[in-house]
Amino acid sequence: MYLTKDEERMLNGEMGYAAKKSMEILVALGEIYGAERLIKVGSVQVAGVSYHNLGDAGLEFLNELAEDGRVRVLTTLNPAGMDLEDWKRLGISDEFAEKQNMVIDAFRRMGIIVSCTCTPYFIGNLPRYREHIAWSESSAVTFANSVIGAMTNREGGPSALAAAFVGKTPCYGLHLEENRRPDVHVHVAARLNTTPDWGALGYCIGKKAPNSIPYITGVKDADVDDLKSFCASIVTYGAKPMFYIENLTPDAYRYQPPNESLTIEDADLKKAYEEINDGVGDIDFVCIGCPHCSIKEVARVAELLKGKHVAPTTEFWVATSRTVKQIADKRGYTTIIESAGGKFACDTCMAVAPLKGRFKTVATTSAKGCFYSRQNLMATRMGSLEECVQAAVTGKWS
């Protein structure tokens, strides 16, 4: 791989430990994937923030990098294992909080914005069309490639950090036009009425066309919450972090639907719900906000919860970024949700918080949330926002 003089100096250790380590990672990746050079990135989004996933070895690695590593481009973080301000209220232990704060402190010393959200595009890390970036959260990568039209591979935590320290990433994969071509035509004949229907659609496409880039037709309308849900689901269940929707996503006009095709019917969506759901009645945990809630979703939760109260047997989380919560504070949504017994879970999420063993059954709007909740040993129920709020209030799925 061709390296500039500056890049060679970094690789040789002339610009510090973190730069050297980063160049080693980027060069190794570039050589594996046949990149000819590094390209500049406009921003980085780093996953692998929860102490729950990092453990002490990860914390030690971050502390070593933080000695002299300083990011060169706008860099934001994925959710951590807890709400950084209100962790006690979410039932997080002191021991975990202490370690998680050490992780956050290391990132802060690197110059990273401690945003802790998987929807960085809602809070100021919004790439430009066709801009090269290095993001690692899979739903955000899919959103950036498909909905915004930026260009990123799905980075791992270390390779995203390396890109942040160097300001560059190896030019391969989805940074190259030839790898962004759609390879399967998906016609959607099913009716998409709610945001979780989009999650179910992502499930169907991920399962039926794994490792593909779909070109989707038959969809007439979608809002940003539908699309973020779809992005999270399609990539979780098997597709590449990239899709096109005819007349909806910015790059769809560049291509024709490929010859290989499949159709998604109502029956496919119904089957997806059956496979995602575990079919249980009592709900002790409800979580909205996978990916993190938009302000519109928070507003809808407040509207639905007004004058009601969360069941004593149930914990209700609204997972979102701190920035969106601050907007909710100003608009009065926070007061409504909290006085009804709901809890904001800022900076964290249902997948990366240490929840294993705490709850038996989760209700959520998110197909991706169901995938990770099963890993946390919970039974799952996916449904609309209205159904989830109802479950929070009654403690049951009706």
290 near ligand F3S, judged by CB under 6 A: yes
CB 291, CB 119: distance < 8 Å? yes
118 near ligand F3S, judged by CB under 6 A: yes
291 near ligand F3S, judged by CB under 6 A: yes
CB 157, CB 136: distance < 8 Å? yes
Residue closer to ligand F3S (CB basis): 21 or 300 = 300
45, 50, 78, 115: residue in contact with ligand F3S (rule CB under 6 A) = 78
Residue closer to ligand F3S (CB basis): 372 or 397 = 372
Q: In the structure encoding, which two tokens stand for residue 61, read together? A: 């690695």
* Least distance between ligand F3S and beta carbon 243 (Å): 16
Stretch that binds ligand F3S, among 32-40, 100-108, 345-353, 382-390 (CB under 6 A): 345-353
Q: CA 12 → CA 24, 33, 227, distances in Å?
A: 9, 22, 43
73, 201, 298, 319: residue in contact with ligand F3S (rule CB under 6 A) = 319
How far apart CA 174 and CA 117 sit, in angstroms, is 23
21, 175, 240, 368: residue in contact with ligand F3S (rule CB under 6 A) = 368
Residue closer to ligand F3S (CB basis): 52 or 185 = 52
Calculated CA dihedral for residues 166, 171, 174, 175, nearest 10 degrees: 80
* Least distance between ligand F3S and beta carbon 371 (Å): 8
Question: Any residues with CB less than 8 A from the CB of 238 and at least 6 apart, and which?
Answer: 206, 207, 209, 210, 211
Question: Any residues with CB less than 8 A from the CB of 86 and at least 6 apart, and which?
Answer: 343, 344, 346
Residues 87-106 as x/- pattern, contact with ligand F3S by CB under 6 A: --------------------
How far apart CA 193 and CA 348 sit, in angstroms, is 28
Q: How crowded is the C-beta side of 198, counted as CA atoms within 13 Å?
A: 23
The closest of 120, 26, 20 to 75, measured between CA atoms, is 120
Residue closer to ligand F3S (CB basis): 151 or 290 = 290
CB 139, CB 162: distance < 8 Å? no
Binding to ligand F3S (CB under 6 A) within 230-289 occurs at: 232
Stretch that binds ligand F3S, among 166-174, 197-205, 270-278, 344-352 (CB under 6 A): 344-352
Stretch that binds ligand F3S, among 244-252, 294-302, 367-375, 382-390 (CB under 6 A): 367-375
Q: CA 90 → CA 75, 97, 110, 322, 359, distances in Å?
A: 27, 11, 28, 15, 13
Binding to ligand F3S (CB under 6 A) within 15-74 occurs at: none
The DSSP 8-state label assigned to residue 241 in this structure reads: S
10, 15, 54, 349: residue in contact with ligand F3S (rule CB under 6 A) = 349
**Backbone dihedral angles phi then psi of residue 49, each to the nearest 5 degrees:** -110, -25
* Least distance between ligand F3S and beta carbon 14 (Å): 37
* Least distance between ligand F3S and beta carbon 263 (Å): 27
Stretch that binds ligand F3S, among 100-108, 183-191, 265-273, 348-356 (CB under 6 A): 348-356
Residue closer to ligand F3S (CB basis): 91 or 332 = 91
How far apart CA 365 and CA 162 sit, in angstroms, is 34
Q: Residue 157's CB: how many other CB atoms inside 10 A?
A: 19
Residues found near ligand F3S in the complex (CB under 6 A): 78-79, 118, 137, 139, 232, 290-292, 319, 349, 351-352, 368-369, 372
